[in-house]
Amino acid sequence: MTEIWRLLQIFRVIIRYRLDQLLPKKQLPLALRPLLFIAKINAVPELSRGERLRKALEELGPIFIKFGQLLSTRPDLVPADIVSELDQLQDNVPPFANETFKALVQTALGAPVEEVFAEFSSEPLASASVAQVHAATLKSGEDVVVKIIRPGIERIIEQDVALLQLIARLVARFSTDGKRLRPEEIVEDYRHTIFDELNLQREAANASQLRRNFAQSPLLYIPEVYWDYCRRDIMVMERIYGIPVSNIEDLNTQNTDMKLLAERGVEIFFAQVFEHNFFHADMHPGNVFVSTETPERPQYIAVDMAIVGVLTKEDQYYLARNLLAMFRRDYRQVAELHIQSGWVPEGTKINDFESAIRSVCEPIFEKPLKDISFGQVLVSLFQTARRFDMEVQPQLVLLQKTLLNIEGLGRQLYPELDLWSTAHPYLERWLENRFHPKSLWGELKRHGPEWMEKFPNVPHLVFNALNRIQTVGELGAEIRETRAQLAQQQTSSRQSRRKSLIAGLAFAGAALTAWPNVVHEVAQATPQTLVLLGIGALALVLR
């Protein structure tokens, strides 16, 4: 009964915000079309389709807000005007009671809050759809934040995800773009993402890895994780003090070097993607702060590491070469790299693909470099590749979204930011270092023990491989011999038929010469007799 009531609520919001208009009217089920007249009476004032979708998700509650946030990370599937609206979704949810929070902490840690912490704030620092955060102080004196998963959230998520799956099936069935947008796949991605976020121990592990990657770095600071107090439902981290990166006024007040701050954001992105191969994939302004300690050499602080991304070494390599080829406007190489990497099918017509890439990228590159959005070029490239059956690459989509966030953030801080001047030399250096003797020696040291362990088996593997090759060779020889015999038999058969035909013609000529009346007899023959004679002649020829 609860599910039915929730479905009715969702349907009311869909009608109120006229989300039915996202589908052509003729594609809607006949049973739903009369309801559109009711919808017009209760509809909100005229808004863009992106605004209507955003407001609908906000009204439906935290789980749908999270879903909207995920949709905003899929510019490869969702139109740009909708993505820009969904980027504005804020996750401000009414907090649950302080006593409930304390009870959850006690259940998770097996001790009352007063025994674990020297001080504990009853007012939450932040309240989101999945978790709530309070400030506290450890007995040892460190200021920390305590993050707890909302009670009963798993059951709510299960219900709402089931309803989202139903809506996705309807969109896939009744929309001409259903196959291209892959709504069911998006909902399944969302299911995995949000249930991953429910595991705070996983987030703590991500934070520890990022902190280790940027240890002693002047670019980025990651708060320390206090593992003794971390469980699946609770995470305790160092409390950070900084200025929200979107607070331009306060950053200017402390005389922050905005140009350097913007450039360091770009450096952080490339360091995470290409050096560490482990990047924070949710770096929207709400998760990024700026340290107040050294405004002339500003340092970023990042929180909320629930979503991270990694690339394979092959993807790293092909992505770097793709970007460099784009910088050089070598569209042929861009097309070739997409095919070599397997991002588009092997049989793709490379000339057509190259032409499509050129038609998208060339108008963009006619602008001054500082006016070109690096992220948008990447989005355009992937969208073009989709026309050639490029499959969705989740790891590349996460990276693309992170780049858009970083670039948008950098341009907000310093509008003259030229991301290209930072990216180009960085990628050149990275590719050069990838094949440097030092790097190759590092790979040898890393994989050497594994190779040495497998080395004793190499002769045996080689012997088996040679045996298989010999067996295949012998089988191939037998097949070739059989084919030769069949060809010889066919040749003999054709020669025999030719001889029979010649003999038959010779016999007929001789008969006509010896018995001239035969022609007259044949001319007088009935059709049935002629057919029988024809069959007999054919049998003689084919004998």
Of the candidates 144, 120, 124, 148, the residue with the CA atom closest to the CA atom of residue 134: 124
Q: Which two tokens stand for residue 96?
A: 């649950």
Q: Which two tokens stand for residue 141?
A: 């004196």
C-beta neighbour count of 214 within 10 angstroms: 20
The answer to whether residues 264 and 219 touch, using CB atoms and an 8 Å cutoff, is: yes
Out of 76, 87, 282, 315, the active site residue is 282
CA torsion 325→328→332→333, rounded to 10°? Answer: -30
SS3 428: helix
SS3 45: coil
Active site residue 282: yes
Residue 353 to residue 356: CA distance in whole angstroms = 5
The answer to whether residues 176 and 24 touch, using CB atoms and an 8 Å cutoff, is: yes
At 360, phi and psi to the nearest 5?
-85, -45
Of the candidates 228, 226, 258, 229, the residue with the CA atom closest to the CA atom of residue 243: 258
At 247, phi and psi to the nearest 5?
-85, 75
Residue 405 to residue 411: CA distance in whole angstroms = 10
Residue 248 to residue 323: CA distance in whole angstroms = 31
477 contacts: CB under 8 Å, gap ≥ 6: none
Question: What b/e readout covers 349-375, taking b as 16+ CB neighbours within 10 angstroms?
Answer: eeeebbebbbebbeeeeeeeeeebbbb
Residue 407 to residue 402: CA distance in whole angstroms = 9
Q: How far apart are the first and last CA of the chain?
A: 82
Q: What is the DSSP letter of 243?
A: E
Q: Which residue has the tokens 């999945």?
A: 130
Give catalytic residues, as residue numbers: 282
